[in-house]
Chain A
Amino acid sequence: MMDTSKAAPEARRPLVRASGVTKSYGGVQALVHADLELLPGEIHALLGENGAGKSTLVKIVAGREQADGGELEIAGGHADVSVVYQELTIVPALSVLDNVFLGHPDVKQLMRRRSLRPRARQYLDALGLEHVDLDRPAGDLPLAERQLVEIVRATARECRTVILDEPTATLSDVEIERVFAAARRLRDNGCAVVWISHRLKEVFELADKVTVMRNGRHVSTDPASALTTDELVARMIGSRALQERERVARVHASGGGEARVRLEQLGLPGRFAPLDLELRAGEIVGITGQIGSGADWVTKTVAGLGRDRTGRVVVDGRAVAKAGVREALAHGISYVSGDRAKDGVFLDVTVERNISSMVLGEVAPSGVLQRGKERSLGERLGRLMAIDRRRLGSRAGDLSGGNQQKVSLAKSIAPGPKLLVLNEPTRGVDVGARAEIYDHLRQLAQDGAAVLLFSTDLVEIVEACDRVVTMFRGRVVRTAEVEGLDEQAILRDILHPQEEEVAA
């Protein structure tokens, strides 16, 4: 247990001091000028949109990545920093006890579990997990409890700096309270707690200080009490920058054409509650929500994933009989995956062959591939998506992220879909390619298709979409037209505490 000195804050030495930190991956600059100062005995919120650089900064402080430039001082070294990442690192086959002490320096070659048990019990109980059996495989626990065990693991390390990245994403209110209590306890014991979250309500409730980052830069650090929600939001997206920024998507549709696709009481148990939505030709609809909102599963379910769905998807009057990607494709629903490396693009295959992969029936009408057709398809779609002709024969994995995404899009557009569904359409894509992609989506819509996309990038939602559907914890909060609306208002709506009151 740390002994807090009761001296004035200025006299306390910082546990972590980062200034001017830079980091780039390949050609992309993730951190341009990052500053962060963590004092003992504080809860320090770190805010910023996706791509602001928070995760990169965290990895550098934790020692998982090396900074390219700038200064970094950590009082106890990297070993004194523990992180709970967004992606769970619970090992399902190991017991809860073993998971808590995984990577703990106190664990010797011979596991003396007997001495570790009471400590684990103590930590678990402090987070309200009295009912959890230490010897159960962690994989048996529900997701929320696994998240809590991860937090327990971090506290068990007894580091002076604890970083929590979206720790409450999957938790219910009761559990959130427990995590708050744990964070406060850590703070009172003299630790520095970094709290990364999109939920401004939590930030105001919990944090002592707030640091905002934007585009890889440090924007501001202030005591939480000195800020209002509007100011925070403005700093996160750069209010002046928005007006000055060249509008990427130049056209917005209003009203749209006929309703091509209807979602009738479509639901996925455990992910999102039944909802109704109409998708019209010529219109781009965006769905957004934080982790745990179920928004990403709406798009996946429409695309045919999500096997135990309830309700119906109706395309041009015909209901899609059962779940399954091939079923959806047969009805004209084409899906662009959110993770192109995992299942969106065939990295080892040429661009041309990627593009033709979803229309092999047309490119090989009697079973034999017709190279001429494949080539012309590749060229036509390549031109559409502004992919250099010379790249058609290149291996897709050799292209930049933006170009890979364009290939992924071209591939899914090839079948001439009635509805194009996309998850995170410009994740990891630079600004220039983004603009192109939005243009292509707009063109597709104007040609008569309906477009549905999921994104956690609020700017993207505002710029590319005609209508926005926000979701929170599995339910639709509101559906609004983007055109003519004050962007600040929409964003405040999505981030503001009131949103959570509405759903409650």
Chain B
Amino acid sequence: MSPLQTGRPALAEGDAVAAADTRVSEQQGFAAWLRERDMQTLAIRGAALVILLYACVAVDGFGTVDNVKSLLQSVALIGIAAVGTAFVTISGNYFMLSVGATTAVSTIVFAKSLSLGLPLALVVTLGAGAVGGLVQGAAVGLLNTNPIVTTIAASSLVLGVGQIVSGGLTVNADSTSADVLNNTVFDVLPVRVLIFFAVALAAHALMQKTRFGREVRLTGSNREAAELAGLRVRRVIVLAFVLAAVAAALSGALLAAEASQGNLRLGATFDFDVIAAVLVGGVLVTGGRGSIIDAAFGAVFIGMVGNILIVSGQPYELQLVAKGAIVILSIALAALASRRRR
């Protein structure tokens, strides 16, 4: 006899009874709305806007169409992987430290399977990624292993497998079949970026509008409560890892298409960029909060900062330091914001 089907007469006029309940903590109005928006995401978006405007005006060479295209290109790959990793983070499992390894090995797998034609090569690559994600997800979700250590271990495993598959050599991709991935649509929007947008939107829809997404969020918000509520916690965690791995694999395929080769050394600092994107975007490491769009936005922000540094002539190394500092700053912001909330 679910309340959904029966029409039960209301016990008391909800509004009248509850209106009498004036608790200090239940403020209404703008102040409450402001508090509900994550301070951190607000800060990031505000800062991003400011930096963007500043760069357009003050930094030579930033505001050109070519530069924006190049910026979006580099962001796309990180963005796709970040969007996938966000599922793991929102589910309360911190991050997948095997993202870099998965992407790197995926370049090899993709390059090698291009001889089967583009669609099949993609299937093989994404499938391989899914297998890796499945193993990690099973360990964390079913056997309750620590996610950080598990993904560290998986990283090594995956790289080892990649070394065997590649024989330690660079694998040249049969460039013609993958060319479509390097194209630009309407001469403005690179296919890669289009894919990034599509993936981000699809993932966002998955998270916001499906039962699965809701279960991911609830599991990350409070795992014990989720178990008590009868949610399919284990299944959700396994799937989150699979999604993250598949996204990383997709990035690898695109990377291989761009470089026309598979090479384990491609994307050496990929891990960092992805984690930074997720954290800076406002996806809280404690789980349950933040959205896919946040992660995508974080990727854009990190990419933008890096781009500005390059365009203004700063050495490549400074990028990493800057990214690390930004990560720590945003963690601090998030911590202070949640402290205020309590």
Contact = CB atoms under 8 A, between A and B. Distances in A.
Report if A and B touch in the complex (beta carbons < 8 A).
yes
Interface of A: 26-27, 325-326, 329, 335, 337, 342-349, 353, 357-364, 367-369, 373, 376-377, 380-384, 386-391, 394-395, 397-400, 402-403, 411, 413-416, 432-433, 436, 439-440, 443, 447-448
Interface of A is mostly: helix
Interface in B1-22: 1-4, 8, 10-12, 14-15, 17-19, 21
B339 interface: no
A382 B18 CA distance: 10
A369 B214 contact: yes
A414 B226 CA distance: 15
B74 to A, nearest CB: 33
Which interface class (under 10, 10 to 19, 20 to 34, 35 or more) fits B?
35 or more
B15 A388 contact: yes
Given A343-B225, A440-B11, 7 more contacts: A349-B218, A353-B218, A360-B231, A400-B23, A415-B2, A433-B21, A436-B17
Interface string B213-227: 111011001101111
Given A389-B15, A436-B17, A360 B211 contact: yes
Contact of A388 (B18, B214, B227): B18
B34 interface: no
Contact of A387 (B18, B210, B229): B18
B210 A357 contact: no
B3 A348 contact: no
Nearest to B1: A416
A433 to B, nearest CB: 8
13 contacts: A342-B224, A343-B225, A347-B222, A348-B221, A349-B217, A360-B211, A360-B214, A386-B12, A387-B18, A398-B32, A399-B25, A400-B23, A402-B21
Interface string B305-342: 00000000000000000000000000000000000010
Given A380-B8, A436-B17, A400 B211 contact: no
Contacts of B231: 357, 360
A362 B288 CA distance: 22
Contacts, number: 143
Contact of A346 (B2, B15, B36, B218): B218
B14 A414 contact: no
B230 A346 contact: no
A332 to B, nearest CB: 10
Contacts of B341: 397
B228 interface: yes
Pairs A-B, 9 closest by C-beta atoms: A388-B18, A416-B2, A343-B224, A364-B211, A383-B10, A400-B23, A329-B230, A343-B225, A383-B14
A362 B4 contact: yes
A380 to B, nearest CB: 5
A40 B2 CA distance: 62
A353 B222 CA distance: 13
A391 B26 contact: yes
A388 B24 CA distance: 15
A360 B215 contact: yes
Contacts of B228: 325, 335, 337, 343-344
A382 B8 CA distance: 12
Contacts of B208: 369
B2 A367 contact: no
A251 B325 CA distance: 63
B229 A357 contact: yes
B243 to A, nearest CB: 15
A364 B3 contact: no
Given A346-B225, A386-B11, A443-B11, A364 B214 contact: yes
A368 B288 contact: no
Contacts of B226: 346, 357
A362 B1 contact: no
Contacts of A398: 25-26, 32
A369 B225 contact: no
A502 B136 CA distance: 55
B69 interface: no
A411 B4 contact: no
Contact of B18 (A346, A360, A386): A386
B214 A27 contact: no
Contacts of B2: 359, 362, 414-416
A360 B214 CA distance: 9
A168 B42 CA distance: 53
Nearest to A399: B26
Contacts of A26: 24-25
A348 B288 contact: yes
A383 B11 contact: yes
